[in-house]
């Protein structure tokens, strides 16, 4: 499957960066954002997303809608988007597709050819989104062109409620089975992270004496202290001369006594967050509540378990997040992080065994 998403809403780049910044091997430089399964090209006046994973496209599509006060009725809001999608995928058998079409323009069963149109619509009280789809099938390959149009206006609450319903998968299942194939869960390695503001003076002091290799990234205008592998610290200019420090370390051995002391005394970092994410994980409520000893949270889709860290499973997103916060102290922060690593790996193993 190949999905290409085009928009001219350049302001959406920040939302996409935020969505995927925690992904392993995430990299943004110049006009490109790359991560496993997804590539984003930022042209002078467009964003082009290319992916072979429908789940990532499903996440991105709602972010490419905008909610703004309606003209002449500022108490109400309306949705807008210029989103265009091109999908190439293995096609279902023609008889299965035909019964889902609104208009059949061409059919040649012997040659395996079909052309037609269908549409799907989502509502939340007065506001709605319609997705017309033009579909062509030839030689077992389906090509679909998808657009979105928005209608009417309502409260901002109902606009946001509507965006939670919009589903690219619902459009794709008409012509391909690739969205129903069960993919193995994707486990990102546990990563030590934090984002804290630092003063320009403290940033300079740290860069003048820090371990690792200092690089300058032109497009985000950032200084990066690179350690082995994916381990790095990034300093990026913020508002009012403030500098934002982003910490991303997959190996706790990077936190030497010297580095811990520098983070604490020079950059005023007080704590670190250890996080591990497992995506594409299918678990039944009874498995969570029984063998895995999770508890149902008041939030509708969430289950959680609290040990030395917090484990949360979103049954709608099919995603489990493990999170622990560790105070930054030179005494034994590396040993504590390694202990949490092992505990997270053990729970991840138990969960993957249940989801197999």
Instruction: Compute the distance between CA of residue 29 and CA of residue 331 in angstroms, rounded to an integer.
Output: 37
Nearest alpha-carbon partner for 8 in 59, 57, 43: 43
112 contacts 137 by C-beta, under 8 angstroms? yes
Nearest alpha-carbon partner for 222 in 202, 204, 249, 243: 243
> Measuring CA to CA, how many Å separate 263 from each of 29, 52, 225, 244?
26, 39, 13, 13
Predicted local distance difference test score (pLDDT) of residue 330: 58
Instruction: Enter the DSSP assignment of 253.
Output: G
Query: Hey, is 48 helix, strand or coil?
Result: strand
Instruction: Compute the distance between CA of residue 324 and CA of residue 140 in angstroms, rounded to an integer.
Output: 48
Phi, psi of 242 (to 5 degrees): -75, 145
In the beta sheet, which residues pair with residue 145? 86, 134
**The model's pTM:** 0.65
Predicted local distance difference test score (pLDDT) of residue 291: 92
Hey, what are 37's tokens? Answer: 């399964």
Predicted local distance difference test score (pLDDT) of residue 343: 92
Predicted local distance difference test score (pLDDT) of residue 61: 95
CB hemisphere CA count around 263 (13 angstroms): 29
List, for residues 284-299, the tens digit of each pLDDT value: 999 999 999 999 999 9
How many CB atoms neighbour CB 182 within 10 A? 8
Instruction: Compute the distance between CA of residue 268 and CA of residue 283 in angstroms, rounded to an integer.
Output: 41
Nearest alpha-carbon partner for 192 in 83, 89, 307, 273: 273
* Low-confidence residues of the chain: pLDDT under 50: none
Mean pLDDT of the chain: 90
Query: Hey, is 81 helix, strand or coil?
Result: coil
Predicted local distance difference test score (pLDDT) of residue 212: 87
Predicted local distance difference test score (pLDDT) of residue 356: 60
Instruction: Compute the distance between CA of residue 333 and CA of residue 264 in angstroms, rounded to an integer.
Output: 12
Task: Mark residue 152 as left, alpha or beta (left: phi above 0; alpha: psi -120 to 50; beta: remaining).
Answer: left
């Amino acid at each position: 499957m190949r999905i290409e998403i085009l928009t001219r809403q350049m302001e959406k780049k920040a939302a996409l960066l935020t969505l995927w910044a925690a992904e392993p091997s995430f990299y943004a430089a110049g006009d490109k954002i790359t991560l496993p399964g997804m590539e984003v090209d930022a042209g002078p006046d467009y964003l082009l997303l290319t992916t072979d994973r429908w789940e990532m496209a499903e996440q991105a599509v709602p972010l490419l809608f905008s909610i703004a006060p309606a003209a002449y009725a500022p108490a109400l809001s309306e949705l807008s988007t210029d989103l265009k999608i091109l999908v190439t995928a293995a096609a279902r058998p023609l008889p299965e597709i035909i019964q889902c079409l609104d208009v059949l323009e061409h059919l040649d069963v012997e040659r395996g050819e079909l052309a037609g149109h269908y549409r799907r619509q989502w509502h939340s009280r007065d506001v709605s989104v319609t997705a017309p789809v033009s579909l062509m099938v030839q030689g077992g390959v389906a090509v679909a062109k998808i657009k979105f149009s928005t209608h009417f206006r309502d409260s901002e609450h109902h606009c946001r409620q509507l965006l939670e319903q919009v589903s690219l998968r619902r459009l794709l299942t008409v012509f391909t089975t690739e969205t129903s194939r069960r993919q193995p869960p994707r486990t990102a390695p546990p990563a030590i992270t934090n984002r804290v503001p630092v003063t320009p003076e403290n940033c300079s002091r740290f860069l003048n004496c820090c371990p690792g290799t200092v690089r300058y990234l032109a497009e985000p205008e950032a200084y990066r202290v690179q350690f082995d592998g994916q381990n790095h610290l990034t300093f990026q200019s913020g508002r009012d001369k403030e500098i934002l420090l982003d910490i991303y370390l997959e190996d706790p051995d990077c936190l030497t006594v010297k580095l811990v002391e520098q983070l604490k005394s020079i950059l005023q970092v007080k704590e670190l967050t250890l996080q591990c994410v497992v995506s594409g994980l299918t678990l039944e409520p009874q498995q969570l509540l029984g063998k895995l000893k999770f508890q149902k949270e008041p939030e509708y889709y969430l289950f959680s378990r609290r040990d030395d860290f917090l484990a949360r499973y979103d049954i709608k997103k099919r995603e489990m997040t493990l999170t622990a916060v560790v105070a930054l102290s030179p005494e034994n922060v590396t040993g504590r992080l390694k202990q949490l690593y092992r505990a997270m790996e053990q729970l991840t193993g138990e969960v993957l065994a249940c989801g197999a």
